[in-house]
Amino acid sequence: MKFEIVELSELSGSKATIYSIFMDDDNETLFENFMVENLREFPDEINSIVETLNQISTKFGARRHFFKENEGKLGDLVCALYDSPNSNLRLYCIRFGTTVILLGGGGHKLKSIRALQESEKLKSENYILREVSELIFKKMKEKQIYWINEYELGGDLILETDE
């Protein structure tokens, strides 16, 4: 598998930079796929997510209260954007402090679902980000990915697995 990290300049702002991922040879990022998959059924939730991302990037930064942390393995920084009580969507991301968010995918989350493993779609989207996180930290350790400044990732933003 191949993952390419790209900045979403239309969502990034002075308080946080927002990235997403192209997977293999897809023409859309994981976040764009999430939007397309859910826009028809959940337009209000999609608008709410975009508004929250705009507030994060331009006003507040990626503060903890916007996220449900520990949605992955210990230390991998995988989290979910908090949904409103009536929301049906879960969006997974990797949060690097208050200045960088890497958006993945997600999907419909029934309120009856207590663990992401109860939904194959959510489990799949979450595990993609767990894998991406592992690859990012490996490349950071090898100094192939690094911080240009506190808001920007630099280096080789293409991640590959043997699968």
Q: What is the pLDDT of residues 59-102, one digit of tens each?
A: 999 999 999 998 888 889 999 997 676 777 899 999 999 999 99
**Confidence label for 163 from pLDDT (cuts 50, 70 and 90):** low
**Confidence label for 16 from pLDDT (cuts 50, 70 and 90):** very high
Distance CA 130, CA 134 (A): 6
CA-nearest of 108, 46, 98 to 77 is 98
Q: Which residues contact 133 (CB under 8 A, 6 or more apart)?
A: 72, 76, 77, 78, 94
Whether the CB-CB separation of 145 and 139 falls below 8 Å is answered with: yes
User: pLDDT (tens digit, 9 = 90+) per residue, 113-136?
Assistant: 777 777 789 999 999 999 999 999
Whether the CB-CB separation of 62 and 101 falls below 8 Å is answered with: yes
SS3 145: strand
Distance CA 16, CA 84 (A): 21
87 to 42, 122, 155: CA distances (angstroms): 9, 15, 37
Q: Which residues contact 11 (CB under 8 A, 6 or more apart)?
A: 18, 50, 53, 54, 57
Amino acid at 125: E
Distance CA 111, CA 23 (A): 29
Distance CA 1, CA 122 (A): 19
Residue 35 has pLDDT above 70, yes or no: yes
Which pTM was predicted? Answer: 0.93
SS3 139: helix
